[in-house]
Copies of this chain bind each other. A is one copy, B any other.
Amino acid sequence: MPGLKRGTLVIIGGAEDKTADMRILKIVYRLSGGDNGTVAVVTTATNSPYEAEKEYNDIFKNLGSKAVYGINISNRAQADDQRLIKQIRECDCIFFVGGDQLRISSILGGTEFHKAVLESLNNGKVIAGTSAGASMMSQVMVVEGRDDEAPRKCTLKMAPGMGLLQGVIIDQHFNQRGRIGRLLAAVAQNPGVIGIGIDEDTAAIVNSELNLKVAGSGVVTVVDGRDITFTNTSEQYAEEPLAITNVKIHVFPEGYGFNLVTKQGIIQKDEK
Contact = CB atoms under 8 A, between A and B. Distances in A.
Interface of A: 147-151, 174-181, 184, 199, 202, 217-219, 229-230, 232, 240-254, 256, 265, 267, 269
Given A178-B178, A249-B249, 7 more contacts: A147-B178, A150-B174, A243-B267, A244-B251, A246-B250, A247-B250, A248-B249
A174 B150 CA distance: 8
B150 A184 contact: no
A43 to B, nearest CB: 28
Contacts of A251: 150-151, 184, 241-245, 247
Contacts of A252: 243, 245
Given A181-B175, A219-B151, A241 B265 contact: no
Contact of A218 (B176, B202, B241, B267): B241
9 contacts: A176-B178, A218-B241, A219-B243, A242-B251, A244-B250, A245-B267, A246-B250, A247-B250, A248-B248
A13 to B, nearest CB: 10
| Copies of this chain per assembly | 2
A251 B219 CA distance: 22
Nearest to A176: B148
Contact of A199 (B150, B174, B253): B150
A139 to B, nearest CB: 24
A71 B77 CA distance: 71
Contacts of A151: 175, 219, 251
Contacts of A179: 178
Nearest to A254: B241
Contacts of A180: 175, 178, 180
Contacts of A181: 175
Given A151-B219, A243-B252, A175 B178 contact: yes
A103 to B, nearest CB: 26
